[in-house]
């Protein structure tokens, strides 16, 4: 894949995490690489779900489909994946970025199912009518929707899975960006969680770390100043509270390195290593 100017990747990260409009995003990209350059680089930066389809949507090894469970004040729509013909399984909650449930997160749920788990990926935007396919519309809808309601509805998947007839009762979580922070919040706020993992998400305050009672695994990009600024205090608090945790840094990667729908941000080596570590973490605490 051609090397993409890091300024473009940084600009894309600003676009998906702030209210920067698409027109302004495109204008700034064009200033950096010109019109022809923008046409060449945008397909490498923006999501293309075909790139990120590691497990077929109709994989015959899996039972797949959409479900609802009880959220804060109404039903929450979610995608569910589990190995076909399996008995009771440990379960995992797959938590999306700041754009609600999409095809990429559904693919991650299928990957978790192939690792031997009952995986549920909630749509935190259910309360707002569901996540739009258009990523800018999804980002904007997410920004307008009550954050506490989104988080509460997502975290309600933990007790749902803990009590599920097809679950062993042991539940883990993993999230990405926004979802990485919510996965950590599950370790603070939700009964029934056995292990929490997160990718480049917001870290916890010292006050919240004192409430963590389950093992935690975190993955961070080497070049992610906004998120990484909080790591030193977070580590100090985790050490002070003697929380069982592992924290992995991936040098040379940027925010979103696990998201293989954006080829300019994706780092296959780091993503595969982080995912294998996450599955091993689940295997130890949920299957062991």
> Which are the contacts of 266, defined by CB distance < 8 A and separation ≥ 6?
51, 256, 257, 258, 259, 260
- Summarised one tens digit per residue, pLDDT across range 225-273 is 999 999 999 999 999 999 999 999 999 999 999 999 999 999 999 999 9
What is the pLDDT at residue 30?
Answer: 95
What is the residue-averaged pLDDT of the chain? Answer: 96
Give the pLDDT mean for 165-182: 98
What is the pLDDT at residue 1?
Answer: 59
Task: Say what angle helices 178-189 and 147-155 make with each other, to 10 degrees.
Answer: 60
Residue 214 has pLDDT above 90, yes or no: yes
**What is the pLDDT confidence band of residue 3, given thresholds at 50, 70 and 90?**
confident
d(C-alpha 173, C-alpha 183), whole Å: 6
> Which are the contacts of 117, defined by CB distance < 8 A and separation ≥ 6?
82, 89, 90, 91, 92, 172, 282, 286
Element (H, E) at 105: helix 103-114
- Summarised one tens digit per residue, pLDDT across range 83-98 is 999 999 999 999 999 9
**Secondary structure of residue 132 in the 3-state scheme:** coil
Arch. (CATH architecture) of 62-287: 3-Layer(aba) Sandwich (3.40)
Q: Among 50-54, 64-68, 184-188, 230-234, which is the least confidently predicted range?
A: 50-54
Q: Domain extents for the chain?
A: 6-45, 62-287
């Amino acid at each position: 894949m051609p090397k993409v100017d890091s300024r473009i990747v940084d600009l894309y990260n600003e676009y998906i995490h702030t209210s920067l409009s698409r027109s302004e995003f495109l204008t700034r990209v064009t200033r950096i690489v010109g019109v022809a350059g923008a046409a060449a680089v945008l397909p490498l930066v923006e999501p293309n779900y075909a790139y990120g389809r590691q497990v077929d949507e109709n994989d015959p090894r899996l039972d797949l489909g959409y479900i609802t469970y009880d959220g804060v004040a109404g039903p929450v729509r979610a995608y569910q994946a589990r190995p076909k013909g399996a008995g009771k399984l440990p379960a995992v909650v797959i938590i999306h970025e700041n754009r609600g449930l999409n095809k990429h997160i559904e693919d991650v749920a299928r990957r978790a199912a192939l690792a031997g788990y009952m995986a549920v990926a909630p749509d935190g935007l259910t309360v707002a009518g569901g996540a739009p396919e258009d990523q800018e519309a999804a980002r904007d809808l997410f920004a307008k929707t009550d954050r506490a309601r989104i988080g509460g509805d997502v975290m309600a998947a933990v007790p749902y899975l803990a009590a599920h007839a097809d679950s062993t009762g042991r539940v883990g979580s993993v999230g990405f960006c926004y979802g990485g922070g919510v996965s950590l919040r599950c370790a603070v706020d939700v009964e029934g969680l056995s292990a929490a993992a997160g990718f480049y998400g917001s870290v916890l305050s010292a006050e919240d770390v004192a409430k963590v009672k389950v093992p935690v695994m975190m993955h961070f990009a080497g070049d992610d100043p906004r998120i990484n600024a909080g790591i030193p205090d977070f580590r100090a608090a985790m050490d002070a509270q003697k929380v069982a945790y592992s924290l992995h840094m991936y040098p040379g990667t940027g925010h979103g390195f696990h998201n293989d729908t954006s080829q300019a941000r994706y780092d296959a080596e780091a993503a595969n290593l982080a995912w294998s570590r996450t599955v091993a973490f689940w295997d130890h605490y949920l299957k062991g």
